[in-house]
Amino acid sequence: MLILSRKENQKIRIGNNIVINIVSLSDNSVKIGIEANKNVKIYREEIYESIINSNKEAAETIKDSIPTNINSFKLNKINKDDKKK
Amino acid sequence: MKIKNKQFGEIEFETNSVISFSDGILGFEEYKQFLLLSENEGSFFWLTSIDEPELVFPLFSIKLLEEECFNEEEVEPFGIVKLAKEPENVTINLKAPVFIDRSAKIGYQKIIDNEEFKVNYPLFVKN
């Protein structure tokens, strides 16, 4: 792995079309700006991993395991008021 | 054309019903061609790979959970579901919905950059 030291507002260029900017530094986090073409997908690694794992787990469940006894249940509607909290 | 898998047996389909996922599904990028299957009276859909018919993603329409959730016209948002026998254990991925344009026959999975949307959102709650 290539490791570079950068100061605030210094940049790293990857290939012709991607620029990484160190926007600001604080004690335990760093703000990073990324300039890239729109078709370049940028994800936080832990979220990307969680989606891949979730997709894999979902693909292993089968339609025979659709719950049949849902009489005492209802759809868990997305509540806008909850989301604002 | 025909494909066959364990869950559905033989599936006959027209080539114009094939939905193209040019970027695939995250973690399954090599599979680009899918069918969106549904069964009578069911609310679930089954995104079934044509290249690998045993690869089936259970889907549920997010519109049934919140009509105004996403407003992109023509494009329907679905959540990938992890099924379970017990209703309280069934979850839907709202963090990375699968968007499908049934008229243009294209689909894609997109991660929503918003902490309010959960990967494992319970699909059912007790009455």
Chain B CA closest to residue A85: B116
**Residue of A65, A72, A76, A84 to mutate, interface with B, max B Cβ within 10 Å:** A76
On whether residue B58 sits in a domain, the answer given is: yes
On whether residue B127 sits in a domain, the answer given is: no
pLDDT digits (tens, 9 = 90+) for B2-17: 999 999 999 999 999 9
pLDDT digits (tens, 9 = 90+) for B46-104: 999 999 999 999 999 998 998 665 566 689 999 999 999 999 999 999 999 999 999 99
We report the CATH number of the domain holding residue B30 as 2.30.290.10
Three-state DSSP class for residue A46: helix
On whether residue B62 sits in a domain, the answer given is: yes
pLDDT digits (tens, 9 = 90+) for A31-63: 999 999 998 989 999 999 999 999 999 999 988
pLDDT at residue B120, rounded to an integer: 96
Nearest CA distance, A38 vs chain B (angstrom): 13
pLDDT at residue B41, rounded to an integer: 73
Nearest CA distance, A18 vs chain B (angstrom): 20
Residue with tokens 């979902």: A58
ipTM of the complex: 0.92
On whether residue B76 sits in a domain, the answer given is: yes
* B65, B87, B109 ranked by CB distance to A73: nearest: B87
pLDDT at residue B69, rounded to an integer: 58
Residue with tokens 């918003």: B114
On whether residue B65 sits in a domain, the answer given is: yes
Interchain contact, B87 vs A51, CB within 8 Å: no
On whether residue B37 sits in a domain, the answer given is: yes
Beta bridge partners of B92: B81, B121
Q: Quick one: residue B94, left, alpha or beta (phi over 0 = left, psi -120 to 50 = alpha)? A: alpha
The count of structural domains within chain B is 1
pLDDT at residue A49, rounded to an integer: 96
What domain range includes position B112?
Answer: 2-122
B6 vs A contacts (CB less than 8 Å): 62
B82 vs A contacts (CB less than 8 Å): 54, 57-58, 61
Domain coordinates of chain A in residue numbers? 11-62
Interchain contact, B28 vs A59, CB within 8 Å: yes
**pLDDT exceeding 90 applies to what percent of chain B?**
83
Residue count (chain B): 127
